[in-house]
Amino acid sequence: MFQKKQFCFTDDVHNTFLYLNFMNDKLNKICKKNNFKKIKVHGFRHTHYSLLFESGFTIQEVQDRLGHSDLKTTMNIYAHVTEKQKENVGNKFAKYVNF
């Protein structure tokens, strides 16, 4: 059953933590084999939260999801402006001022 502090990557037999280097090595092999851009496991965390911002979640909702006690951590490390957001700035402003 899912717990708030449950590990994401565990051994199938003992439900013990798989070390990050192990997971990054496996992911690197998959990326190489499929000609994907190299990404580390932690990169998925950044991508996930960038997509949350892009889809309209508030900074407070994202902060809560990340488990950060300090909003500055969320803002300084995870609050990236995506290309899609950059493209939509003009459209959002035009809609706001009724252009």
* Residue at 1 is within a domain: no
Structural domain boundaries, residue 87: 40-96
Q: Is residue 48 part of a domain?
A: yes
What digits encode the pLDDT tens for the residues 15-70? Answer: 777 787 888 999 999 999 999 999 998 888 888 888 888 888 988 998 998 888 99
22 token code pair = 């192990």
31 part of a folded domain: no
Domain-embedded: residue 84: yes
Alpha-carbon distance values, 22 to 25, 35, 36 (Å): 5, 20, 19
The pTM for the full model equals 0.61
- Answer whether residue 18 is part of any domain: no
Residue 49: other Cβ atoms inside 10 A: 20
Tell me how many domains the chain contains: 1
